[in-house]
Chains A and B, each alone.
Chain A
Amino acid sequence: MQPNEALLTVDDLCVEYRTPRGPVRAVDHVSFSIAHGEVFGLAGESGSGKSTIAHAIMRILHPPAVITGGHVNFSGDDVLEMDGDELARFRWRDVSMVFQSAMNALNPVMTIGEQICDVIQCHLRLSKADSMDKAAHLLDLVGIERSRLAAYPHQLSGGMRQRAVIAIALALNPPLMIMDEPTTALDVVVQKEILQQISDLKDKMGFSILFITHDMSLMVEFSDRIGIMYAGEIVETADAHDVFNNPQHPYTRGLMSSFPSLVGPKVKLTGIPGSPPDMGKPPSGCRFHPRCDQAMAICSLQRPALREVAPVHRAACHLYELTGVTPRTERGTL
């Protein structure tokens, strides 16, 4: 395997929730890839389908979710073609995940130690004592006292529970970790601390990360490359600093202006007017057009394709399809 070859390729992925009121297409022809050692960020408003993508990659979406198309390629194997046994081997050993709500992700009636050990025992066939050793080591890594192996989730603070969940995700040292808003429920200090820790671990162990958050400042700081999602679609992908300095899609610009820049000049926070569409019946054409201040006639008629607007910078917007001009507004240089 070449070092520059992608570790994970998601290609044209479509996911539907088949509700009684009709199908809700929560992920619509989404494509992206993650290279070895890369941190790929997925950002977007709540309900844009980020978690759905993460869960679809591991095939752990519950009914009524159905994957209706596309491919998820993990170092040569298509996850969507795997049967039960292949999936059981693929899960956690190849891709692990830190869940959005660590509070609910731990089994309340098992100790932290048991919950780390069972995945080690199941995949690596280690003895109980060996896996306990390994579990203790993992707790060291994420900064929890070893003695907490015997603790139950309710005996830990929120931050500690989050770390425990990260320890579980690290257990098999997988090449890819999905982190779905790993720190949203925590206060800012703990948030920074944990992210720093993840970053250090990543440098040490060399895994890739699919990082999901709607906190744009964290995202830009933490990721190498970013995909911006709107209503089930990726509307822009670029290197993190490009997204920050030079956002192309009007939605991205709105997102970038809805949080205060820590370092840049003072800009007026405008945010994005309106609210995300009902995914059961999304707007025609470009899904963002009802909220877009630069909408044109074509925007309600035709869906723009994701196309290169600058080197390794792609956006799906009619502004660039028609003229290919450089964007009108630009955020002040850093």
Chain B
Amino acid sequence: MRYVLRRIGFYCVAAWASLTLNFLMPRLMPGDPASTIFARYRGQLRPEQLEAMKEAFGFNDAPLIEQYFGYLSHAVRGDFGISISAFPSPVTTVIGSGLIWTLLIGITALVISFVLGSMLGIISAWKRGSKLDNIFPPLLIFLGSFPFFWLAMVALYVLGFKAGWFPLRHAYSDRLTPAFTWPFISSVISHLILPALSIILVSIGGWVLGMRNTMINVLGEDYITLASAKGLSTRRVMFHYAARNALLPNMTAFGMALGFVLGGQIIVETVFSYPGLGYLLIRAVSNLDYPLMQGIFLMITLAVLGANLIVDLLYVRLDPRVRGS
């Protein structure tokens, strides 16, 4: 429990840090930030849009510290202002529409690559020295060296464009309206496959190699020798004794991997015009929709922190030593 509370405390600090970063970033721009930003729009904005923008940044004549607290209190209330590009929708509405797709694609890709990769790592460690184990690591490193989006482009071209097996863009067919029906769900799945696949392909190698290496370290431990001396079945030794212990260091790496995979996902979403937060973020950046991009950044950060918290809770379940007294 102590462990979880400490972690939650840490996530609060991290959330506060990213809020502050968000506040500081426009103010770090050279010159007078407000006029620099507004100058970029070159009169494209209606006055009420300008007002919304000023409001969102908390740009006013008050001293910086007051602006800061004003900003914080808005943010805590979930008020990130009005989107410029989707005027007059509030930023939160726009984010809400993208969040579900990002979660769908992110969770699918992450869970599949983690579970599949860890299994392959276990097998590779168990059968180490075999042909498979000699070819596997370099192959996976090679696969993992490609930029996510590049594989996505190739997959799009070969499997989507040339072979025509998969749709090329969006999260579901334009002819359908979202509903809990089979045609809609199958359309969502077929749109999900290519982007998820390219993320899985690039990220799976890390899990395989990480698991393989920790497994090899764990397999040298005395408790593994004792387990095999006990005459237990191979499967029991492998999974209950070795894999459960080898999984722990990899779980702690999960948080880091999350950020990395998410970074790739943002670009992959753009390649497939997949309407998740990444796609929205890049659109917001190119439209200079500052309130929206800042809101998305915060949302993504919160999602990452939340995912890390879930991993922590799982970790506590798997490792009795952190449960503590």
Contact = CB atoms under 8 A, between A and B. Distances in A.
A62 interface: yes
B229 A58 contact: yes
B161 interface: no
Nearest to B219: A62
Contact of A122 (B222, B236, B319, B321): B236
B250 interface: no
B320 A101 contact: no
A101 B228 CA distance: 16
A60 B228 contact: yes
A296 interface: no
B21 to A, nearest CB: 38
A108 interface: yes
Interface string A93-120: 1001101010011111111000000110
Given A62-B220, A104-B221, A154-B321, A99 B226 contact: yes
A99 B231 contact: no
B127 interface: no
Interface in B188-240: 220-223, 225-233, 236, 240
Interface residues of A, number: 32
Nearest to A90: B231
A94 to B, nearest CB: 9
A62 B229 CA distance: 12
A87 interface: yes
A97 B227 CA distance: 11
Contact of A119 (B221, B223, B232, B318): B232
Contacts of B229: 58, 60, 91-92, 96-97
A104 B223 CA distance: 6
Dominant secondary structure of chain B at its interface with chain A = helix
A101 B223 CA distance: 10
Interface string A114-139: 00001100110000000000000000
Interface in B226-262: 226-233, 236, 240-241, 244-245, 248
A118 B232 contact: yes
Interface centre among B223, B248, B321 (most CB of A within 10 A): B223
A32 interface: no
A101 B319 CA distance: 21
Given A104-B221, A104-B223, A118-B236, A109 B319 contact: yes
Contacts of A96: 229-230
A88 B321 contact: no
Contacts of B221: 104
B240 A110 contact: yes
Given A109-B244, A152-B321, A89 B225 contact: no
A55 B228 CA distance: 11
Interface in A152-171: 152, 154-155, 165, 168
B318 A93 contact: no
Interface size class of B (residues with CB under 8 A): 20 to 34
Nearest to B222: A104
A105 B226 contact: yes
Contact of B223 (A58, A92, A107, A122): A107
Given A99-B222, A99-B225, A108 B320 contact: yes
B1 to A, nearest CB: 16
B240 A118 contact: yes
Given A99-B222, A99-B225, A122-B236, A109 B231 contact: no
A181 B241 CA distance: 24
Contacts of A106: 223, 226
B245 A122 contact: no
Contacts of B220: 62
Interface string B132-173: 000000000000000000000000000000000000000000
Contacts of A111: 320
Interface in A12-45: none
Contacts of B232: 88, 118-119, 122
Given A93-B231, A108-B321, A152-B321, 17 more contacts: A55-B225, A60-B225, A62-B225, A90-B231, A91-B228, A91-B229, A97-B229, A99-B225, A104-B223, A105-B225, A107-B223, A107-B244, A108-B223, A109-B244, A122-B231, A123-B231, A155-B325
> Which 5 residue pairs are nearest across A and B when measured between Cβ atoms?
A91-B231, A104-B222, A152-B320, A119-B230, A88-B231
Interface of A: 55, 58, 60, 62, 87-93, 96-97, 99, 101, 104-111, 118-119, 122-123, 152, 154-155, 165, 168
30 contacts: A60-B228, A60-B229, A62-B225, A88-B232, A88-B233, A89-B231, A91-B229, A92-B230, A96-B230, A97-B229, A99-B225, A105-B223, A106-B226, A107-B227, A107-B241, A107-B244, A108-B223, A108-B245, A109-B320, A110-B240, A118-B230, A118-B240, A119-B231, A119-B232, A122-B230, A122-B231, A154-B320, A154-B321, A155-B325, A168-B230
